[in-house]
Structure 1
Amino acid sequence: MPTTNQTNTVHTPELENNFTKLSKINVNKHTEKKGRFTYLSWTFAVSEAMKADPLAVWVFRDPMVFADKTMMVHCDVTMFGKSIYMFLPVMNNSNKAIANPNAFDVNSAMMRCLVKGIAAHGLGLYIYAGEDLPEEEKPQAQIQQNMQPQANIRQQQGQQQKPIEQRYQDALKAIASASKPGTLDRAIDTFGSTKYAESIQRACDARADQMGWSAPPPNHSQNQNQLHN
């Protein structure tokens, strides 16, 4: 009787990408504002981290003190068997490093550093990129935005320009949530010849510093186009 060689193929399930799973979570309801900046609540971040990986652990390294008396805190966050190292200056609500921080300042920075380490594993990372929604929810949001009738768009474009004081306040909001350096450039160009030029420049410098961009240059144009984020 002839024999037949049979090969048994074992199909193993594809390993789930834990970063992708965490990055899909919308954390907007668990953020808080400090000054112009948005932060994720450390209690929520820790809760979600432990739900996703009950074996998650984190360790704070000794702070580093610099010659100007400012301080850097450090944290290693281990989730899903992978350790990620993060660091953060002890800062005020304007995201500027402070000299001779007290215990409360250091504690706040340590918890923010912990949240930053958890974000590196995926949870709430989109906030650090200046985005409003996780990638998973962006397509639907874009569809809803595109459903606005063109007639309404033309009507908005034809409306009388807002008073400069209102445009200044709108510009500050746009700068604080800017996700692209071009937003800062347009703000500086728009208000470069006005009494708001200096405060707009400071706001742009602060946002550029927060996002790790090169500081926007001083006004280089008298373009008065209305700012759009």
Structure 2
Amino acid sequence: MTTSTQKQEVMPENVNNFTTLSKINVNAHTEKKGRFTYLSWTFAVSEAMKADPSTVWKFREPMFFKDGTMMVHCDVTMFGKSIYMFLPVMNNSNKAIPNPNAFDVNSAMMRCLVKGIAAHGLGLYIYAGEDLPEEEKQAINQQQNQNAPPPQTQQQKPKDNRTQEQLYNDALNAIKDAPDTKILNAAMKKFKGTLYEAGIKNACCARADMMGWPIKQAQLNQNSNQQAMHH
């Protein structure tokens, strides 16, 4: 008879083995061949045996087709559950190979084994063309969202109360000490079509000459010619 002071045995919660395996980031153990990414079969088998030492797999007899191509088959049993998987003997472009040699068949069998292990969760995201496991990808996105500055509303944005003349004078000062052509281009664009365009253009030409920017100088001259044609 048990009493209230006796500890009751706590039954372990059911573990979703697929979820556990799908959380593993396998990117460091993949290899890119052509347009496709392959997981190392030695790593896949190692992780499978770590997760379930009783893991077993069995290859079925290959299937042959009239065009000389071949399909391999594999059953992978983990955690008491067997999953059947199949794969054509193919090249790195995912095209079935007619009359494959022994090396082609061996590669297909190992890839089929990895695919069967992936069906249990390990590296399955590779077959969906993803770069990271879903849980890790969500965590990264969440971290990025937390670190991102809050969106600036129209009310939060500081209002520029400078007059057009003040903006012009500030632009001239910026052009005079411009370290590159980005400031020149921005000033030309900002004051285009205004009363200050000619002054800005002259300042930009002078800065370009001083710094030896012949390409930008030519562009400035071209802009001047184009504007003259419009008038």
TM-score normalised by the chain length of structure 1 = 0.60
- Give the paired residue count: 147
Per-residue CA deviations over 1:62-95 (Å, capped at 9, x if unaligned) read 1000011100000000001110000000000101
Q: Distance in 1 between matches of 2:141 and 2:17?
A: 26
Superposition map of 1:210-221 within 5 A: none
Q: Counterpart amino acid of 1:29?
A: A
SS at match of 1:62: coil
Question: Shift in Å at residue 143 of structure 1?
Answer: 2.7
Q: Distance in 1 between matches of 2:19 and 2:52?
A: 14
Superposition map of 1:204-215 within 5 A: none
Q: Counterpart amino acid of 2:124?
A: L
Per-residue CA deviations over 1:146-192 (Å, capped at 9, x if unaligned) read 445679xxxxxxxxxxxxxxxxxxxxxxxxxxxxxxxxxxxxxxxxx
Q: Distance in 2 between matches of 1:13 and 1:54?
A: 20
Q: Counterpart amino acid of 2:116?
A: G
Q: Distance in 2 between matches of 1:12 and 1:95?
A: 47
Q: Distance in 2 between matches of 1:126 and 1:148?
A: 27
Q: Distance in 2 between matches of 1:112 and 1:46?
A: 11
Matched, 1:136 2:135: yes
Per-residue CA deviations over 1:112-166 (Å, capped at 9, x if unaligned) read 0000000000000011111111122122211344445679xxxxxxxxxxxxxxx
Q: Distance in 2 between matches of 1:25 and 1:47?
A: 13
Partner residue in 2 for 1:64: 63
Per-residue CA deviations over 1:86-106 (Å, capped at 9, x if unaligned) read 000000010111100000000
Q: What is the CA RMSD across the aligned residues, in angstroms?
A: 2.2
Q: Distance in 2 between matches of 1:21 and 1:67?
A: 42
Spell out structure 1 runs of 4+ moving beyond 4 A.
8-11, 147-151
Q: Distance in 2 between matches of 1:47 and 1:84?
A: 18
Q: Distance in 2 between matches of 1:64 and 1:83?
A: 20
Partner residue in 1 for 2:22: 23
SS at match of 2:14: coil
Question: Shift in Å at residue 57 of structure 1?
Answer: 0.4
Superposition map of 1:1-229 within 5 A: 11-146=10-145, 147=147
Q: Distance in 2 between matches of 1:113 and 1:145?
A: 36
Identity of aligned residues (%): 81
Q: Distance in 2 between matches of 1:142 and 1:49?
A: 29
Q: Counterpart amino acid of 1:62?
A: E
Question: Shift in Å at residue 60 of structure 1?
Answer: 0.3
Partner residue in 2 for 1:161: none
Q: Distance in 2 between matches of 1:11 and 1:148?
A: 44
Q: Distance in 2 between matches of 1:101 and 1:148?
A: 53
Q: Structure 1: which 5+ residue stretches go unaligned? A: 1-5, 152-229
Q: Counterpart amino acid of 1:81?
A: G
Per-residue CA deviations over 1:17-65 (Å, capped at 9, x if unaligned) read 1111101100000000111110100000000001011110000001000
SS at match of 1:75: strand
Q: Distance in 2 between matches of 1:71 and 1:144?
A: 46
